[in-house]
Structure 1
Amino acid sequence: MRILICDDDPLIIEQLQKFIESFFKSNHIKCPELVSFTSGESLLADSEEKDLVFLDIEMPGMNGIYIGNELKKANKNVIIFVVTSYSEYLDDAMRFHVFRYLSKPLDRSRFLRNMKDALTYYNSITVKIPVETRQGLYSFPASQIIAIEAQSRKVIVHTVQQDFDSIYTMDYWLNLLPKNSFFQTHRSFIINLDHVVDFDHFTIHLSNPQLTAYLTRRKYSSFKNAYLLYLESMR
């Protein structure tokens, strides 16, 4: 993982560095590579991976809105935190799917909460999940799993590429998949909240239009709350 800070204020850069280092230290995780820039031009000139970026909006030269759009064009999965005193830029920032909006002066507690969400999301799109079948072993990020379905004696892993017949049980998958983004809606279905299109009291429509998951009546409220919480964490 590589974390970048882009701000023309050296005091903000220093504060963000301290917050980031404190977050990883308190969670007993080695701090990733941390690189700072004082202009959007120097950030875009950097040719290495950009996994998580703290981006100021008001900077001389290229502003943060332009930089954010360019970063998303290069890597749609880059996690961007907008850091600014100017809330009027929020609508423009949301258009390139900013992960979070942090206002100056920075609040440490809020920063740490949001950093935890960012790391969880980063792991969901990068850490690979093994899928073992009778034909072989496959692996891909959890974000590519749409749903796990129990069909008679089979357990099917539906992914954005294809379906796999897993050799493991639903309980195995329930324990393996990230709790913040997967939910068991029925004894026959575990679904990825990121792939939900819409739902009613009985069914859930997913990003694959040919796949519909069942929703148990008694789980409707807890599922709705989990889904709304998930959407809130993605803002």
Structure 2
Amino acid sequence: MRILICDDDTLIIEQLKKYIESYFESNHLKCPELVSFTSGEALLTDKGEKDIVFLDIEMPGMNGIYVGNELKKANRNVIVFVVTSYSEYLDEAMRFHVFRYLSKPLDKQRFFRNLKDALAYYNSITLKIPVETKQAVYSFPASQIIAIEAQGRKVIVHTARQDFDSIHNMNYWLEKLPQNSFFQTHRSFIVNFEHIVDFDHSTVHLSNPQITAYLTRRKYSSFRNAYLLYLESMR
């Protein structure tokens, strides 16, 4: 993982570095590579992976709104934090799906909470899940799994690529999948929040229109709350 910081204020860069290093140290985790830039132009010329980016809005030359849009064009999964004193840019920043909006001066505890959410989201979209069938073992990011469906004794893993007949049961998948991104809506269905289009009290419609998951009434409230919490964490 690489975490990038782009701000024309070197004091803010140092503060962000200090907070990031402190977070990883306090959680007994290895700190990832930290790279800093003082201009949007320099950031965009960087050829390395861009996993999490802390981005100032008001900078000479390319402003953060332009840079954020370019980052998202290159990689829609990049996690962008907007760090600025100017709240009037919030609406523009939200258009390129900024992950969080952090106001200056930075509050350390709020920063830690938001970084924790970002790392959980990063793990959910990059975590490789093995799908074992009778013929072979396939591996792909959890984000590509749309739903797990039980049809009698058969368990089908619906993915964005194709469907797979898993040799494992539903309990296995409940333990294997990241709990912040998946929910068992019915004994026959586990759905990925990322692929939900809409839902009512009995059904959940997913990004693949051929898959409709059942939603039991007794689970409706807990499912709704978990989904809204997921959406909130994606803002």
Q: Which range, TM-score by smaller chain?
A: over 0.9
Structure 2: how far apart are the matches of 1:120 and 1:140? 17
Q: Structure 2 matches for 1:67-146, cutoff 5 A?
A: 67-146=67-146
Deviation at 1:74, TM superposition (A): 1.1
Residue 151 of structure 1 corresponds to which residue in structure 2? 151
Residue 60 of structure 1 corresponds to which residue in structure 2? 60
Structure 1: how far apart are the matches of 2:117 and 2:135? 36
Give the 3-state SS of the residue equivalent to 1:18 in structure 2. Answer: helix
Residue 32 of structure 2 corresponds to which residue in structure 1? 32
Supply the AA of the counterpart residue of 2:139.
Answer: S
After superposition, what is the alpha-carbon deviation per residue over 1:48-85, rounded to whole angstroms, capped at 9, x for unaligned? 11111000000011100010011111111111000000
- Structure 2: gaps spanning 5 or more residues: none
Residue 179 of structure 1 corresponds to which residue in structure 2? 179
Supply the AA of the counterpart residue of 2:153.
Answer: R
**What TM-score comes out, normalization by structure 2 length?**
0.99
Residue 169 of structure 2 corresponds to which residue in structure 1? 169
Give the 3-state SS of the residue equivalent to 2:20 in structure 1. Answer: helix
Give the 3-state SS of the residue equivalent to 2:146 in structure 1. Answer: strand
Structure 2: how far apart are the matches of 1:27 and 1:171? 30
Supply the AA of the counterpart residue of 1:65.
Answer: I
**What TM-score comes out, normalization by structure 1 length?**
0.99
Structure 2: how far apart are the matches of 1:224 and 1:153? 28
Residue 225 of structure 1 corresponds to which residue in structure 2? 225
User: How many residue pairs get matched?
Assistant: 235
Deviation at 1:112, TM superposition (A): 0.6
Structure 1: how far apart are the matches of 2:218 and 2:45? 53
Deviation at 1:18, TM superposition (A): 0.7
After superposition, what is the alpha-carbon deviation per residue over 1:95-133, rounded to whole angstroms, capped at 9, x for unaligned? 111111000000111111110111111111112000000
Residue 19 of structure 1 corresponds to which residue in structure 2? 19
Supply the AA of the counterpart residue of 2:31.
Answer: C
Give the 3-state SS of the residue equivalent to 2:197 in structure 1. Answer: strand
Percentage identity across paired residues of the two chains: 83
Structure 2: how far apart are the matches of 1:84 and 1:95? 16
Residue 3 of structure 2 corresponds to which residue in structure 1? 3
- Structure 1: gaps spanning 5 or more residues: none
Structure 2: how far apart are the matches of 1:196 and 1:62? 35
User: 4+ runs of 1 displaced by more than 6 Å?
Assistant: none
Structure 1: how far apart are the matches of 2:83 and 2:108? 13
CA RMSD of aligned residues (A): 0.6
Deviation at 1:47, TM superposition (A): 1.2
